[in-house]
Amino acid sequence: MGELFSLDFMLGLFPQVIVALPKTLMIAGISALIGLMIGLLVALVRYLNIKGLTLISKVYVSFIRGTPALVQLMLVYYGLPIVIKIINLQFKTAIALDLPKDVFAILALSLNAGAYMSETFRSALQAVDVGQLEASYSLNMTTAQALRRIIVPQAFAVAIPPLANTLTSLIKETSLLFTISVVDLMAQGRIIASRSYRYLEMYVVVSIIYWVVCTILAKGFNRLEKKFRKYERGFQHD
């Protein structure tokens, strides 16, 4: 002790902190998948201009984008039990109130990511040439067939880089989850650091782990983009 910064101590922290990485990745991964579905649905509502749902999706996206993720997490954490109570009373159901903390975390992060992803999908859908839809209709494909086979795959390829951004934001936002006692990377680090009071070393370790994960992810998405855009001129080569 007495050192300002102990490198040995820091290196020793890695194995202890990294055990929480699977939890972080699990929550981020599930939230990303649910967010992806929410995002695509909301974007399609706007793209197809479905009456009644357009306004709701606009308000949803605007609210998520205009409020901090931490506040959204708190709203879900304190709000969801009350919503469940009301549902139980109204419909005489018996949904458990003591849901695992992970469920709150995933719900909050999915709703957050879904809003950002919907904006990504929306501009990606608009970027697909309207002639693609006309050609589909001309061949007697239904709107659903045209979307599934022609429009959405093309939009998805365009959307990959911004989706990667949202996904890295999502991973970083999991660091808020310690506030609702989910033991992710950040929480694990804090628990361990509290035993020795060497917080700086811990935060360096935690930041390095986030950094590496996000960098690997960005590279992976680069590859994915090349694969998905192979049909475009200039995307066959590096």
Partner 1 sequence: MIDVKNLNKSFKSNHVLKDVSFSVQQGEIVSLIGPSGAGKSTLLRSLNWLERPDSGTITINQSTIVAGQESKQAVFDLRQHSAMVFQHYNLFKNKTVIENVTESLITVKKVNKADAQKRAEAILEQVGMSDKLHDYPSRLSGGQQQRVGIARALANDPLVMLFDEPTSALDPEWVSEVLEVIVAIAKQGMTMVLVSHEMRFVHDVSTRVILLDEGTILENGSPDAIFNHAQHERTRQFLRKVQQF
- Shortest distance, position 7 Cβ to partner 1, whole Å: 51
Pairwise CA distance, residues 192 & 219, whole Å: 31
Nearer residue to partner 1 within complex by CB, 2 or 131: 131
Provide the minimum distance between the beta carbon of 118 and partner 1 in the complex, in angstroms, as a whole number.
22
* Residue closer to partner 1 (CB basis): 147 or 206: 147
Q: Minimum distance between the CB of residue 230 and partner 1, rounded to whole angstroms?
A: 7
d(CA 197, CA 201): 9
Q: Among 19, 17, 2, which Cα is nearest to 197's?
A: 2
Which one, 26 or 224, has the nearer CB to partner 1?
224
Least Å distance between CB 210 and partner 1? 35
**C-alpha torsion angle, residues 177, 183, 188, 193 (rounded to 10):** 70
Cα–Cα nearest to 72, from 177, 214, 166, 187: 177
Can you tell me the distance from the alpha carbon of 76 to that of 104, in angstroms, rounded to the nearest whole number? 6
Q: Which two tokens stand for residue 67?
A: 């409020």
Nearer to partner 1, 184 or 225 (CB): 225
Q: Phi-psi region for residue 44, left (φ > 0), alpha (ψ -120 to 50) or beta?
A: alpha
94 or 130: CB nearest partner 1: 130
Q: In the bound complex, what is the minimum distance in angstroms from residue 131's beta carbon to partner 1?
A: 4
Binding residues for partner 1, per CB under 8 A?
129, 131-132, 134-141, 145, 149-150, 153-154, 157, 230-233
